[in-house]
Chains A and B, each alone.
Chain A
Amino acid sequence: MSIREIAEKTLNAAMAAGADEAEIFVREHREFQTTVRMGEIETLKEAESKSLALRVYKNRCKAVVDSSDFRPEKLEKLAGEAVGLAGVTAPDDFHRLPEPELYADTWPDLDLLDPQEAPSTEKRIAMAHRAESAAMEVDDRIDNSMGGNFAQSHGDMLIMTSNGFTGGYPFSVYSLSAVPVAKDSKGDRSRDFWFTRALHAEDLMDADEVGHRAAERALRMCDARRAATGEVPVIFEANAASRLVAMLFGCISGSAVWRKQSYLGDRLGEQIASEKISIVDDPLRPRGLGSQPFDSEGILAKALRVVDGGKLAHFMHDLESSRRLNQPVTGHGSWGGGVAASNLYVENGEGTLADLIAGVDRGLLVTGYMGSGFNTVSGNWSQGVEGLWIEGGKVAYPVKGATIAGHFDAVLKGIDAVAGDLDFSLGTKIAPSLRVISMTVSGE
């Protein structure tokens, strides 16, 4: 059965079983992944699979079923079970499909599928091999590796609702990475990685470049020391600054707000960050890693400026949270439940990471994280990091085993410099390099 047939059959079965309303999401994809380690194939994985999620509403009661079992008789049974389950839940006025006028009726082609034929299996293995060997060739201190990895996924998805929306689109995504391990002068191992990810194979960074960057990152962490404990300026290189965007997202998601799980819950319209910070969610970037023409609820996607000059302009909503908070829909529904961003980014400032470093007499450049220690409810943040110590406006030596801590409100308001190095290939929640005027660094 095609995904459209599966969607129609299951949705019809749910309505026939007594649902008032129903919506279904069906996805199929073909995935491939290979790791080449020390020049030899270590793993090669390939598979085609489908997944289905069905939501049903009956008397304003909701139930959800997920399945990987696509035997036709089971689909009908599943739909019936879903309707039965809805009888268990309590009625909730917010549990119903979107009003049909909210649905997207036309949408742009965002170039989410690579039209070129995918590289051959041999070429894919060769790319993983190349990324690893490029890293190994950089320096003799790199004497081991956790491999080069190539992955790709091609698929198609469809959303169908009982009140008139049907929409879907095909997609592709490729990624390539290398994880070299270096041995420093004391015999300690230092591991780091670099990656590239793109919807079209032609947009991937060259395999040599991936390997070289990974090697440079592993090498610069050799002979790392402990950091001194104290309050100093902290710079986040672009790759690490992404974490701050992800943390902020957790606090401006409507789902966290109505559940009172965000310290920003009653701060709409207020200054929540330095005036240098403006944040946009843009689902419509062609070939964007997080792009989508409509969200999982069928609502037309549009760009939204969530933070403007440090002021919190909007929360991001799925239908339920916009209804509960009586705020406009923003098109951020997700099938996992809750709110999802698309391409959420801090707008570029000026200058380079080097300019940010030059402005610091004594401080820390954060290049990577360990663990996660952010409390969205209170805003407290304590985080394991690694990075480079800065002395006199220059990188002095690598540091490990340090933490940074502070209240997230003070961190966001304390951003005194934003570089112009935003890179959309780094992910779906991203920022240029940022400098925070002071945080507590804990080490020795």
Chain B
Amino acid sequence: MNSLSEHLSVLELDETVLRRVLARALGRGGDYADIFAESGEGRSLRWEESCVKNAALILTRGAGIRVLQGEKTGFAYADELTEEALMRAADTAAHIASGGGVDPAEFAKAVNGRGDYYQPVRPMEGVELADKIALLERADAAARAVDPAVEKVNASLYHEYRNIIIAGSDGLITFDTQPMVRFNVGVVTGKDGKREMAGEGLGGRRGMETLEGDRPEALARKVADMAVRKLDAEDAPAGAMPVVLGAGTSGVLLHEAVGHGLEADFNRKKTSTFSGRVGEQVASPLCSIVDDATIPGDRGAINVDDEGSSTGRNVLVENGVLRGYMHDRLSARIMGVERTGNGRRESYRSPPLPRMTVTYMMPGKSEPGEIIESVKDGFYAKSLGGGQVDIARGDFVFAVTEGYRIRDGKIAELVKGATLIGNGPEIMGKVEMVGNNLELSEGMWTCGKGGQSVPVGQGMPSVKVGEITVGGTKT
């Protein structure tokens, strides 16, 4: 769907209704109001015990209405898209406003500058069911062929699309259709009374083409191989030591250590460790970090944010110097800067917040091999899982899903999963080498904030950090 009228017709809305609802929302006063209407469909197939065990369909439809006045946000939503239901929600959202009604602007005929960052070649909606099931079956067979220790293989395929319309009282009305596909494999292995598990996914705002060739098999083999090797993993070390972060999934370090702290809501409230530090050195001069919604087909890419703002590539840190924050409409207005297109929400049931899109570190000059060779005794975090950050202090953690000891400049034994913990600004100051091998992670990252989950992307070259605390058991 490529026009506003098609989107309006799917949602059974028209511009005059939207304008009446916005007028009602601003009926008591307010600086701005908007309507975020959405209809989406998600489908999943779950493979278990070597057959399709479950098929699911998820339908989403509704609208959220928001009124802003000063730093206040009034918000309400409705599952029904009738004028009556929207008017009720508008009245509720208006509760925070005072000072007298305001008229919304006429809708401008030209829509906002939208990107075009996802063009599925073979949209999943058109793919035959049998072809989808074959992906799962092939992954299962490939995983089972890896080793007799493979006991259980799970796989799932999920795809969705979301049609959204954002109508603002500033006269901006825009729309988007956002596709997403996700293919996951999980393997449980057992040997000599020990048991292990590994799992990974791939996908993005793409179509069936992302699962072409032997990609399902390759993913399944990788996961099964990891679950087999983990059976013989040694105990992880405990204590502070030099750490090399592998390219790709280590982007989660940026996401936690820096990214969240640069979301503008925390900074306008001065609750972030990075508050008031634009222009200051906040990381080693080797570090340049961007948030970029324009990576084609990435899970975190968006053509337009959930407030109708244009998205783009925003430099957060340049050669270690903090350049700016990620903004939604509210924070940009209060802090008196341009919007950056980072206003995102989980669904019509939540108001937007400043959120990341695709966050990564620019490549440096070091060869990945020489980075490992430079460490006498340390830890190689090849692959990372989820993490968390305490915004106020900047302390963060993340889970290592594949980690090795480094001894005498060489990658040594695989060790059990361990948590790495550190302080964002401190760790970023200790970045000693940055590789020339930037990789965007294909992992299926989902970021949680304020109870809302949104899909994000991340990437990283190989990076050496002088010291991080490794949370193993071996002292």
Contact = CB atoms under 8 A, between A and B. Distances in A.
B171 interface: no
Given A68-B79, A370-B389, A401-B395, 18 more contacts: A46-B76, A68-B61, A69-B39, A88-B52, A89-B51, A89-B52, A92-B49, A190-B392, A371-B388, A375-B196, A378-B197, A380-B416, A403-B471, A404-B471, A440-B473, A442-B469, A442-B471, A444-B239
A144 B53 CA distance: 51
B19 to A, nearest CB: 22
A85 interface: yes
Contacts, number: 247
Contacts of A443: 239-240, 469
**Residue from A66, A230, A370 whose CB has the most chain B CB atoms within 10 Å:** A370
B138 interface: no
24 contacts: A42-B73, A43-B75, A46-B95, A47-B77, A65-B57, A66-B56, A66-B59, A67-B59, A71-B80, A88-B45, A89-B54, A92-B53, A189-B273, A229-B239, A259-B48, A263-B195, A371-B388, A373-B418, A373-B471, A377-B196, A405-B472, A440-B472, A441-B238, A444-B469
Interface stretch (B29-37, B336-344, B419-427): B419-427
A45 interface: yes
B451 to A, nearest CB: 10
B449 interface: no
**Interface size class for chain A?**
35 or more
B418 A67 contact: no
Nearest to B64: A47
B131 to A, nearest CB: 12
Most chain B CB inside 10 Å of its own CB: which residue of A66, A261, A440 = A440
Nearest to A400: B395
Interface stretch (B162-170, B177-185, B396-404): B396-404
Interface string B371-393: 00000000000000011111111
B471 A260 contact: no
A261 B419 CA distance: 20
A43 B79 contact: no
A286 to B, nearest CB: 28
A68 B60 contact: yes
B271 A373 contact: no
Interface in A215-265: 226, 229-231, 259-261, 263, 265
The 4 closest A-B pairs by CB, nearest first: A403-B471, A90-B51, A384-B397, A371-B397
A394 interface: no
B365 interface: no
Contacts of A380: 416-417
Contacts of B61: 67-69
Contacts of A263: 195
Nearest to A28: B79
A202 interface: no
B62 interface: yes
A144 B396 contact: no
Contacts of B236: 382, 405
Given A64-B55, A229-B475, A384-B471, A70 B80 contact: yes
A140 interface: no
A62 B55 CA distance: 7
A378 B418 contact: no
* Secondary structure call for the A interface: strand
Contact of B92 (A43, A47, A191): A47
A73 interface: no
A292 B205 CA distance: 40
B89 interface: yes
Interface string A409-444: 000000000000000000000000000000011111
B71 interface: yes
Contacts of B71: 40, 42
A372 interface: yes
B399 A371 contact: yes
Contacts of A50: 79
B452 to A, nearest CB: 12
B58 A65 contact: yes
B133 interface: yes
Interface string B74-116: 1111111000000001001001100000000000000000000
Given A47-B76, A63-B55, A86-B55, A375 B197 contact: yes
A332 interface: no
A188 B197 CA distance: 39
Contacts of A383: 419, 471
A94 to B, nearest CB: 10
- Residue among B89, B390, B417, B474 with most chain A CB within 10 A: B390
B151 interface: yes
Given A47-B349, A70-B80, A88-B129, A181 B55 contact: no
Contact of A46 (B73, B92, B269, B422): B92
A181 B271 CA distance: 7
Interface residues of B, number: 80
A15 interface: no
Contact of B473 (A69, A384, A400, A405): A405
B188 interface: yes
Contacts of B351: 43, 45
A77 to B, nearest CB: 10
Given A44-B73, A144-B271, A402-B421, A49 B349 contact: yes
Contacts of B399: 371-373, 382
A380 to B, nearest CB: 5
B273 A68 contact: no
A395 interface: no
A406 interface: yes
Nearest to A33: B75
Contact of B421 (A48, A68, A190, A401): A401
Contacts of A230: 475
Contacts of B332: none
A147 to B, nearest CB: 9
Contacts of A157: none
Nearest to A183: B392
B270 interface: yes
Nearest to B470: A442
A78 interface: yes
A84 B232 CA distance: 45
Interface in A283-326: none
Given A65-B58, A191-B390, A440-B473, A378 B194 contact: yes
B364 interface: no
Contacts of A85: 55-57
Contacts of B409: none
Nearest to A34: B96
B418 A63 contact: no
Most buried by B among A231, A261, A382: A382
B197 A261 contact: yes
B469 A402 contact: yes
Given A90-B53, A443-B240, A373 B59 contact: no
B152 interface: yes
Given A45-B75, A371-B398, A401 B54 contact: no
A82 interface: yes
